[in-house]
Amino acid sequence: MDLAFTMFLLVCFLAAVLLLEGAFLLWSDTRGGEARQLERRLRALHAGGHGVQASSLIKARESDRVGALGRLLLALPRVGRVEKMLQQAGIVMKTSRFLFTTGLLIVSVFLVLLVLRQPLWLAAMLGLGAALLPFLWLGAARQRRLKRIEAQLPDAVELIARALRAGHAFPTALQMVAEELPDPIGGEFVAAFEEVNYGLPISDAMLNLAARVPVEDLRFFAVAVVLQRETGGNLAEILDNIGKLIRERFKLYGTVRVLSAEGRMSAWVLTLLPFAAALMLNLASPGFMEVLWKDPAGAKLIMLALLAMACGVVWMWRIVKIRV
């Protein structure tokens, strides 16, 4: 039996298993007993006047452990990192569903390329490469949310400073930020205020806020609050200085991004152009590039080219990545 046909049958079987497991996960997430119980709890909280924001403290993500495939995926290494990225990106999606979608994308790309009669090695390589797309999307969503938090942070810090000057306590200032500023920073300060309101020390709540949101300026704010509570001082004046520093740093960072935009675009074009050109050539003339992977010297050239491209990509991104 032909190797490509055997691989096709195996992939079809795997796709069917993943489709069934995905259907079960979807039903369990929307119609299962845990989903109905969670919905009743959220409605009860909303009826009690706490609102959806307070309910986010109870809606734990440990309910992700649903189904055999979900438990298997969550047992893999680095899955906790994916879970943390989903939280930081503000995406309401279970980790098992995200990983299942990634696996389904790999299988789909592999099958499409086999149907188009592409070489097995190319189909496998591009199928595995398709797994990067969901993670790139997740990373982009995470970066957008963190940048919005970074842009809103000066207003939040200055609002807390004004509230402290007006005689309000620090927890009340946190509540004002949570009520006055929109998401995403409003939601993060809601969580911080609820932690303090439920009895957690302010220092621990600030450290938890800095751990949830990996923004350097927010860490400065959290450390300043913790140090002021230990050593004393005028917290309103400290926060005013931090707010001005964040605004000036944000302006400088925007200037640097504008000046490095051309270099970043060149890096993207030079990285993707060889793969796009090889795919188009192979689609237009399937026999034109066969010598490249059938000849032993061609395989060595491919490995050498990929190694050189990897070094070039790392070098270009190190050049255009400027820390302010």
Assess contact for 67 and 21: CB atoms under 8 A: yes
pLDDT average, residue stretch 220-247: 88
Both tokens of residue 260?
């490095």
d(CA 158, CA 153): 9
Assess contact for 55 and 42: CB atoms under 8 A: yes
Mean pLDDT is lowest, of 36-50, 78-92, 115-129, for 36-50
Q: Tell me phi and psi for residue 244, to 5 degrees.
A: -65, -40
Per-residue pLDDT band for 164 (boundaries 50, 70, 90) equals very high
Buried b (16+ CB within 10 A) or exposed e, 252-275: eeeeeeeeeeeeeeebeeeeeeee
How many residues are listed for the chain in this entry? 324
pLDDT score, position 39: 54
Q: What percent of the chain has pLDDT over 90?
A: 8
> CA 79: distance to chain centroid?
12
Return all residues near 122 (Cβ < 8 A) that are at least 6 apart: 113, 282, 293
Tens of pLDDT along 102-120?
A: 888 888 888 888 887 777 8
Q: What is the pTM of this model?
A: 0.62
- Answer whether residue 53 shows pLDDT above 70: no
Per-residue pLDDT band for 124 (boundaries 50, 70, 90) equals confident
* Domain spanning 143-244, CATH architecture: Up-down Bundle (1.20)
Residue 59 DSSP code: -
pLDDT average, residue stretch 177-186: 88
- Answer whether residue 65 shows pLDDT above 50: no
- Answer whether residue 4 shows pLDDT above 70: no
- Work out the mean pLDDT of the chain and round it to a whole number: 78
Task: Name the strand (E) or helix (H) holding 214.
Answer: none
Looking at per-residue pLDDT, the higher value among 282 and 196 belongs to 196
Both tokens of residue 85?
């990225």
